Amino acid sequence: MAENKEPLVNETPQKETPSKIEIAPRKIGVYLCRCGGNISDVVDLQSVAESLKGENVTVNIQDYLCSSAGQDKIKSDIEKGKIDRVVIGSCSPKLHLETFRGMAKKAGANPTLLEITNIREQASWVHDKEGKESVNSKVKGLIKGAVARMGSIEPLVPLEKKLVDRTLVVGGGIAGITTALEIADDHEVILIEKQPYLGGHMIGLSKTFPTMDCSQCILTPKMVAVHNHSGITMHTQTEVAEVKGSPGDYSITLKHSPRYVDIKKCISCGACTRKCHTGAIFLPFAQAVPQAYMIDVSKCDRCGACVTICPRDAVNLDAKEEISTISVGAVAIATGFEPIDPSFIEEYNYPAPNLLTAVEFEDMLSAKSKTGMRLQKADGSFPDRVAFVLCAGSRDFTGKGRKHCSKVCCIYSQKQAQLVKKMKADAQAWIFYIDMRSAGRRFEEFYHHTQEKGVNYVRGKVAEIIPKQDGTLMVQYEDTNLGRKGREIFDMVVLCPALIPSAGTKELADKLGVPLGDDGFIEEKHVKLDPVNTLNQAAFAAGCVLGPKDIHDSVTEGMSAAHKVSQFLGKGMILIPPEKPMILECNGCGDCVKACPYNALSLSEGKAVLSPLACTGCGICVPACPIKGIEIRNFTRNQLKAQLKAMLEDAPGVVVFIDPYAYAAADIAGVNRKQYSSLVRFISLPSIHVLDGDVVNAAFEYGATGVMLIEGTTDEKLTSRSDDLYKKLKKDTRKHKKPLRYSHIETAQYEKLTDLLNVFASQAGAKAEKKSKKEKGEEASEEKV
Stretch that binds another protein, among 345-353, 419-427, 564-572, 703-711 (CB under 8 A): 345-353
Q: At its nearest, how many Å lie between another protein and the CB of residue 488?
A: 15
* 291 vs 349 by CB, closer to another protein: 349
- How many C-beta neighbours within 10 Å does residue 442 have? 14
The string of DSSP codes covering 243-265 is EEEETTEEEEEEEE---SB-TTT
Query: 3-class DSSP state for residue 292?
Result: coil
- How many C-beta neighbours within 10 Å does residue 485 have? 11
Distances (CA, A) of 28 to 113, 128, 150, 416, 487: 9, 29, 8, 64, 73
CA–CA distance, 606 with 599 (Å, rounded to integer):
17
Quick check: 487 binds another protein (CB under 8 A)? Answer: no
Mention every residue, 6+ apart, whose C-beta is less than 8 A from residue 384.
424, 426, 427, 428, 491
Q: At its nearest, how many Å lie between another protein and the CB of residue 489?
A: 13
Angle at 17 between CA 12 and CA 20, to 5 degrees: 70
Angle at 561 between CA 555 and CA 566, to 5 degrees: 130
Stretch that binds another protein, among 228-236, 467-475, 493-501, 560-568 (CB under 8 A): 467-475
CA–CA distance, 598 with 618 (Å, rounded to integer):
10
Stretch that binds another protein, among 381-389, 463-471, 558-566, 687-695 (CB under 8 A): 463-471
Q: At its nearest, how many Å lie between another protein and the CB of residue 399?
A: 12
The helix (H) or strand (E) run that includes residue 608 is: strand 607-610
Contact 198, 175 (CB under 8 A): no
Quick check: 763 binds another protein (CB under 8 A)? Answer: no
Quick check: 466 binds another protein (CB under 8 A)? Answer: yes
Q: At its nearest, how many Å lie between another protein and the CB of residue 569?
A: 53
* 392 vs 690 by CB, closer to another protein: 392
CA–CA distance, 355 with 472 (Å, rounded to integer):
9
Q: At its nearest, how many Å lie between another protein and the CB of residue 400?
A: 10
Query: 598, exposed or middle or buried, with CB in 10 Å at 0-12, 13-18, 19+?
Result: middle
Query: 3-class DSSP state for residue 159?
Result: strand
Quick check: 468 binds another protein (CB under 8 A)? Answer: yes
Quick check: 469 binds another protein (CB under 8 A)? Answer: yes
Q: Judged by CB under 8 A, which of 50, 63, 347, 701 binds another protein? A: 347
Q: At its nearest, how many Å lie between another protein and the CB of residue 98?
A: 50
Contact 745, 668 (CB under 8 A): no
Q: At its nearest, how many Å lie between another protein and the CB of residue 755?
A: 23
Q: At its nearest, how many Å lie between another protein and the CB of residue 477?
A: 16
Quick check: 346 binds another protein (CB under 8 A)? Answer: yes
Number of amino acids touching another protein (CB under 8 A): 7
* 321 vs 346 by CB, closer to another protein: 346
- List, in sequence order, every beta strand (DSSP E) within 63-187: 85-90, 114-118, 159-162, 166-170
Q: At its nearest, how many Å lie between another protein and the CB of residue 351?
A: 12
Angle at 113 between CA 109 and CA 116, to 5 degrees: 120
Q: At its nearest, how many Å lie between another protein and the CB of residue 347?
A: 5
**Binding track over 157-176 against another protein, x by CB under 8 A:** --------------------
Q: At its nearest, how many Å lie between another protein and the CB of residue 434?
A: 19
Quick check: 318 binds another protein (CB under 8 A)? Answer: no
Quick check: 484 binds another protein (CB under 8 A)? Answer: no
Q: Judged by CB under 8 A, which of 4, 195, 253, 349 binds another protein? A: 349
Q: Which amino acid is at 194?
A: K
Q: At its nearest, how many Å lie between another protein and the CB of residue 470?
A: 8
CA quadruple 561, 567, 573, 579: dihedral positive or negative?
negative
Taking phi over 0 as left and psi of -120 to 50 as alpha, with beta for the rest, 199 belongs to left
Contact 519, 421 (CB under 8 A): no
Contact 520, 751 (CB under 8 A): no
Stretch that binds another protein, among 25-33, 460-468, 499-507, 632-640 (CB under 8 A): 460-468
CA–CA distance, 513 with 67 (Å, rounded to integer):
32
Query: 3-class DSSP state for residue 565?
Result: helix
CA quadruple 126, 131, 136, 137: dihedral positive or negative?
negative
Stretch that binds another protein, among 198-206, 323-331, 346-354, 616-624 (CB under 8 A): 346-354
* 346 vs 775 by CB, closer to another protein: 346
* 72 vs 347 by CB, closer to another protein: 347
Q: At its nearest, how many Å lie between another protein and the CB of residue 378?
A: 15
Quick check: 672 binds another protein (CB under 8 A)? Answer: no
Stretch that binds another protein, among 267-275, 419-427, 465-473, 491-499 (CB under 8 A): 465-473
Quick check: 485 binds another protein (CB under 8 A)? Answer: no
Q: At its nearest, how many Å lie between another protein and the CB of residue 469?
A: 4
* 262 vs 464 by CB, closer to another protein: 464
Bridge partners of 115, per DSSP, are 87
Contact 264, 291 (CB under 8 A): no
**Binding track over 525-554 against another protein, x by CB under 8 A:** ------------------------------
Q: At its nearest, how many Å lie between another protein and the CB of residue 499?
A: 23
* 276 vs 465 by CB, closer to another protein: 465
Quick check: 467 binds another protein (CB under 8 A)? Answer: yes
* 294 vs 387 by CB, closer to another protein: 387
* 355 vs 618 by CB, closer to another protein: 355
Stretch that binds another protein, among 35-43, 289-297, 342-350, 650-658 (CB under 8 A): 342-350
The pair phi, psi for residue 153, each rounded to 5°, is: -85, 165
* 113 vs 345 by CB, closer to another protein: 345
Which of 252, 255, 258 is CA-nearest to residue 325? 252
Under DSSP, the state recorded for 544 is G
Q: At its nearest, how many Å lie between another protein and the CB of residue 346?
A: 4
Contact 488, 467 (CB under 8 A): no
Stretch that binds another protein, among 466-474, 530-538, 548-556, 764-772 (CB under 8 A): 466-474
Q: ω into residue 196 within 30 of 0, thus cis?
A: no
- Give the interface with another protein as residue ranges (CB under 8 A): 346-347, 349, 466-469
